[in-house]
């Protein structure tokens, strides 16, 4: 079952609509799959009875949780200067009432996952959940159980009507393939743990292949996305 959460996001360099894709009703039941817009914007107060503005019960993570280190080599490696987040990212992730605060995210634990499509992408761990910060655009956050098994992904839909694209972070051993309507393979760019794929046909289907052999449909991209508000 595929569940979608839509949110308008204004990036500093790109104007986009983002579509968060999640697999499995259990994920939605945990209150996941919500985008955190750039510049400190915060989501609604609750989802399915869960107060998403409340700080994490375990507080801000003092170290990277074992569930994250077990799934991401970058989280096991010593932190370097390139792992530091931009100032606007830290401000947004630490904003009162944000999803990052709800998940106990600690910007001081961030790791650079890679740079794809000219965009730097970071993994930002927390005590209850983790976020993916996409430079100039914002973040996607989810509980650590989901992040550790499937990573984090979003579909970017430019308001200009250009082809939609997907950008995300994958846990160790996972990979992504993309197939066009005519059966041809669409190009997938990777850098470290980050990946990027753009719509190259009427429909380009994106699938994640987990290290345990399981597959997860991440949704479809289009070279002719629907206009905003449709």
Write the pLDDT tens digit of every residue in 58-104. Answer: 889 999 999 999 999 999 999 999 999 999 999 999 998 888 999 99
Residue 230 lies in a domain: no
What are the φ/ψ torsions at residue 179 (nearest 5 degrees)? -125, 130
Residue 45 lies in a domain: no
Give the tens place of pLDDT for each residue, 105-158.
999 999 999 999 999 999 999 999 999 999 988 899 999 999 999 999 888 887
What is the tally of structural domains in the chain?
Answer: 1
What domain range is 100 assigned to?
Answer: 2-40+61-221
Can you give the pTM of this predicted structure? Answer: 0.79
Residue 56 lies in a domain: no
Residue 131 lies in a domain: yes
pLDDT of residue 126: 97
Residue 228 lies in a domain: no
């Amino acid at each position: 079952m595929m569940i979608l959460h839509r949110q308008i996001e204004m990036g500093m360099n790109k104007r986009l609509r983002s579509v968060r894709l999640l697999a499995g009703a259990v994920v939605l039941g945990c209150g996941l799959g919500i985008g955190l817009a750039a510049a400190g914007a915060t989501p609604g107060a609750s989802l399915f009875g869960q107060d998403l503005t409340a700080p994490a019960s375990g507080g801000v993570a003092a170290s990277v949780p074992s569930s994250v280190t077990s799934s991401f080599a970058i989280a096991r490696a010593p932190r370097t200067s390139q792992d530091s987040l931009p100032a606007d990212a830290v401000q947004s992730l630490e904003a009162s009432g944000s999803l990052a605060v709800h998940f106990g995210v600690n910007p001081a634990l961030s790791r650079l996952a890679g740079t794809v499509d000219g965009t730097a992408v970071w993994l930002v761990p927390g005590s209850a959940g983790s976020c993916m910060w996409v430079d100039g655009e914002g973040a996607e956050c989810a509980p650590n159980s989901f992040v550790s098994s499937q990573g984090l992904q979003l579909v970017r839909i430019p308001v200009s009507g250009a082809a939609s694209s997907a950008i995300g972070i994958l846990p160790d051993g996972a990979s992504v393939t993309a197939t066009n309507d005519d059966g041809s393979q669409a190009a997938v760019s990777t850098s470290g743990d980050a990946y990027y794929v753009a719509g190259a046909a009427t429909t380009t289907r994106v699938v994640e292949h987990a290290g345990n052999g399981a597959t997860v449909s991440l949704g479809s991209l289009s070279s002719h996305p629907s206009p905003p508000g449709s």
